[in-house]
A and B are shown apart, each in its own frame.
Chain A
Amino acid sequence: DVKVTQSSRYLVKRTGEKVFLECVQDMDHENMFWYRQDPGLGLRLIYFSYDVKMKEKGDIPEGYSVSREKKERFSLILESASTNQTSMYLCASRSTGIRDQPQHFGDGTRLSIL
């Protein structure tokens, strides 16, 4: 089974801090994704990466950046955390080796910015 591991389930940070959310997958997947989930809005794509050091903006990239130095690890960075970034963050990965493979999700990080 694919395993996508997010480093923290719950995280509390202060306004203005630099925050790192880490995600690791164990299946050598090329594609990795960061979403945020808010009630009534579903999942919205922040950034995705289709290969090491490659990244592309999603629908709501403002206030975020990402890093992918190794294939298995995809980090989401909040450069200067603000209260409107309080949310559930979900990481996903997917193989491009086979057509129509689904995305596999981690358990999420619930981030609170005080």
Chain B
Amino acid sequence: AQSVTQLGSHVSVSEGALVLLRCNYSSSVPPYLFWYVQYPNQGLQLLLKYTTGATLVKGINGFEAEFKKSETSFHLTKPSAHMSDAAEYFCAVSAKTHYNQGGKLIFGQGTELSVKP
């Protein structure tokens, strides 16, 4: 079984500061990991994904995440926050075999990012 824990339901940073959103996962089999972003009144948009290969993954809008198997983590970072980054962010996990058969994802509770001017 898989599960995801996002540490911190709300994170607030100043514009230009580092963004760090934490995600820890549990999976007994090799995982696929995803970060999605949700802007107000919209659906979820894929930021980045880790499936195989390089453990540092770059996504859209300057975000990146590093898969650390030993720490079962997949934290999302951005060097310099912008006002437009204010949104809710979701981490999600799936077992590789399950995902390629059916595509089911397990989502974390979400982290709301606020950016102060």
Interface residues of A (CB under 8 A from B): 4, 9, 31, 33, 35, 40-45, 48, 50, 56, 58, 90, 92, 94, 96, 99-108
Interface size counted on chain B using CB atoms at 8 A:
28
A99 touches B107 (CB 8 A): no
Instruction: Please tell me which one of the listed residues B43, B96, B100, B110 contacts residue A42 in the complex, with CB atoms under 8 A apart.
Output: B110
Whole-angstrom distance between the Cβ of A71 and the nearest chain B Cβ: 15
Instruction: Please tell me which one of the listed residues A4, A31, A104, A107 contacts residue B102 in the complex, with CB atoms under 8 A apart.
Output: A31
A107 touches B42 (CB 8 A): yes
Main DSSP-derived SS at the A contact region: strand
A102 touches B46 (CB 8 A): yes
B9 touches A40 (CB 8 A): yes
**What's the Cα separation between A9 and B42 when bound, in Å?**
9
Chain B residues lying within 8 Å of A99, measured Cβ to Cβ, are: 51, 100
A43 touches B51 (CB 8 A): no
B43 touches A43 (CB 8 A): no
**What's the Cα separation between A43 and B46 when bound, in Å?**
14
**What's the Cα separation between A35 and B107 when bound, in Å?**
10
Closest to B105 in A: A103
Chain B residues lying within 8 Å of A103, measured Cβ to Cβ, are: 44, 46, 103, 105
Chain B residues lying within 8 Å of A106, measured Cβ to Cβ, are: 43
